[in-house]
């Protein structure tokens, strides 16, 4: 049962899935909405600019037919007259053409939005496969498109029949009307009939638009396993991420070990902790921690320090405090300035002594480390005090 449920596409498409679909040129589209908006814009444009358009076309027609014998037999003059009339017709139709083109470009915003994808125009030879074509002919989407085509034909045909029957008497009456009045009357009837029939397409478009959005979302639905796999690909496989973190730790460890020879002193616990400190006189600020570690890492720090003759000082409270309250690259806490200054003074005096200058300094024994900074002392202070009979105070 669980395998069946996982195989069912019950989860909405993720943002990544939707973005991939858009990159491939796959967005919801409704041809009915686009057809309705363009035809309605054309009909409205003809309704508003019809009188002006007819006058300009009539003028162009009269001009084109009014030719003198000299113009007819002069090819250059005739060509110029034809070009002038063609430009006049184009200018007359230009406002309507621009309006229709603008609506055609804006109609995709109603369903799916604008999309420019190079993948959509790339040749896809899989579409030429006749087996796939036959399968698409009998798919559920093909049945829906067939139903839409039949419904559109029925609705538009019914509306057209009603419009024609309503204006039947007016059409017959055009025969007895004067030419100019009858022409205007005919154009008005054609315009109103056109708008009624296109309005019927609006009913189809109002249903097809939401359906295409629903169909697109349903088509891109994902199974639970696909969501899990996509999450792994996006966020990274946990095992790979753990491996990367391990490699990063190893690289950081190698960098840290490479800085140990540059340290001025290594403060030890003596075996569990080791913290390497460096102080640069040319730079402002307190001494910095260049390396630190416990157990095996601490042993490696001490080994490298011995190889490069870096001074090591056994100071358990200070080593524990430095390890607990600093990170690699950090300056030491202000509360430890006095203790670290005493350690560095001992290191610098020892260097002078090794060069034959001065007396051998004494190893600092009692370094001032605040109890709250030493993890060992701080944990002891937090333990409840006991009376002589063992009951807590």
Neighbours of 26 (CB within 10 A): 18
Query: With 50 as the cut, is the pLDDT of residue 264 above it?
Result: yes
- Cα(132)–Cα(125) distance, integer angstroms: 11
Interhelix angle 140-166/179-219, rounded to 10 degrees, is 160
User: How high is the pLDDT of residue 6?
Assistant: 44
2-57 pLDDT per residue, tens: 444 445 777 888 777 878 777 777 788 888 888 888 888 888 887 777 777 777 87
Cβ proximity of 361 and 349 under 8 Å: yes
Nearest CA to 35 among 156, 117, 157?
156
Q: Where are the beta strands (DSSP E) in 158-219?
A: none
Residue 378 pLDDT level (bands cut at 50, 70, 90): low
**Torsions phi, psi for 105 (to 5 deg):** -75, -30
| Tens-place pLDDT, residues 127-181 | 566 666 566 666 677 787 788 888 888 888 898 888 888 888 888 888 888 877 7
Q: What is the pLDDT of residue 388?
A: 43
Residue range 69-87: mean pLDDT, rounded = 77
Coil, strand or helix: which one is 231?
Answer: helix
Contact 320, 273 (CB under 8 A): yes
* Res. 393: pLDDT tops 50: no
Side-chain-side CA neighbours of 121 within 13 Å: the count stands at 4
Q: Which two tokens stand for residue 47?
A: 């309704």
Backbone angles phi, psi at 118, to 5 degrees: -75, -30
DSSP string computed for 23-90: HTT-----HHHHHHHHHHHHHHHHHHHHHHHHHHHHHHHHHHH---HHHHH-HHHHHHHHHHHHHHHH
Dihedral over Cα of 32, 35, 38, 42: its sign: negative
Q: Give me the percent of the chain exceeding a pLDDT of 90.
A: 0
Written as six digits, the tokens of 270 are 């003596």
Question: What is the mean pLDDT of the segment spanning 85-108?
Answer: 84
Look at residue 97 and tell me whether its pLDDT is greater than 50: yes
Average pLDDT over residues 268-272: 83
| pLDDT attached to residue 238 | 67
Distance in angstroms between the alpha carbons of the first and the last residue of the chain: 62
Banded pLDDT at 390 (limits 50, 70, 90): very low
Instruction: Calculate mean pLDDT across residues 334-359.
Output: 85
Q: Is the bond preceding 362 in cis, omega lying within 30 degrees of 0?
A: no
Q: What is the pLDDT of residue 195?
A: 79
Mean pLDDT of the chain: 78
Strands laid side by side in the 265-268 sheet: 288-294, 273-278, 265-268, 311-314
Note whether 304 and 257 are within 8 A (CB).
Answer: yes
Residue 387 has pLDDT above 70, yes or no: no
Summarize pLDDT for 245-260 with one digit per residue, the tens.
778 777 877 888 888 8
User: What is the average pLDDT across 113-134?
Assistant: 62
Burial class (CB in 10 A: 0-12, 13-18, 19+), 247: exposed
Instruction: Report pLDDT digits (tens) over 62-77.
Output: 777 777 777 667 777 7
pLDDT of residue 5: 42
């Amino acid at each position: 049962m669980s395998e069946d449920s996982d195989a069912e596409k019950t989860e909405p498409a993720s943002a990544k899935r939707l973005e991939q679909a858009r990159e491939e040129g796959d967005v919801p589209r409704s041809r009915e909405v686009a057809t309705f908006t363009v035809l309605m814009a054309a009909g409205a444009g003809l309704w508003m600019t019809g009188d002006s358009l007819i006058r300009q076309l009539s003028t162009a027609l009269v001009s084109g037919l009014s030719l003198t014998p000299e113009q007819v037999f002069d090819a250059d003059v005739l060509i110029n007259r034809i070009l002038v009339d063609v430009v006049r017709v184009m200018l007359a139709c230009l406002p309507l053409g621009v309006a229709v083109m603008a609506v055609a470009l804006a109609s995709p915003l109603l369903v799916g939005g604008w999309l420019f994808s190079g993948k959509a125009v790339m040749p896809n030879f899989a579409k030429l496969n006749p087996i796939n074509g036959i399968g698409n002919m009998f798919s559920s989407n093909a049945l829906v498109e067939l139903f839409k085509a039949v419904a559109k034909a029925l609705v538009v045909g019914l509306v057209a029949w009603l419009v024609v029957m309503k204006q039947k008497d007016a059409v017959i009456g055009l025969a007895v009307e004067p030419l100019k009045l009858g022409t205007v009357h005919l154009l008005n009837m054609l315009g109103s009939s056109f708008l009624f029939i296109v309005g019927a397409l609006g009913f189809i478009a109002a249903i097809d638009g939401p359906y295409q959005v629903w169909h697109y979302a349903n088509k891109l639905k994902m199974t639970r396993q696909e969501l899990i796999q996509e999450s792994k690909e996006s966020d990274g496989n946990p095992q790979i991420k753990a491996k990367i973190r391990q490699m990063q730790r190893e690289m950081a460890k190698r960098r840290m070990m490479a800085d140990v020879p540059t340290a001025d002193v290594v403060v030890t616990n003596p075996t569990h902790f080791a913290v390497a400190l460096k102080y640069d006189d040319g730079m402002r600020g307190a001494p910095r921690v260049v390396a630190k570690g416990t157990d095996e890492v601490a042993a490696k720090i001490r080994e490298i320090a011995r190889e490069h003759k870096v001074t090591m000082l056994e100071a358990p409270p200070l080593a524990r405090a430095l390890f607990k309250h600093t990170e690699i690259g950090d300056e030491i806490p202000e509360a430890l300035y006095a203790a670290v200054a005493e350690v560095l003074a001992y290191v610098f005096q020892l260097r002078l002594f090794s060069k034959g200058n001065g007396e051998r300094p004494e190893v600092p024994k009692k370094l001032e480390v605040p109890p709250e900074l030493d993890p060992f002392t701080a944990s002891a202070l937090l333990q409840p005090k006991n009376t002589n009979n063992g009951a807590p105070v």
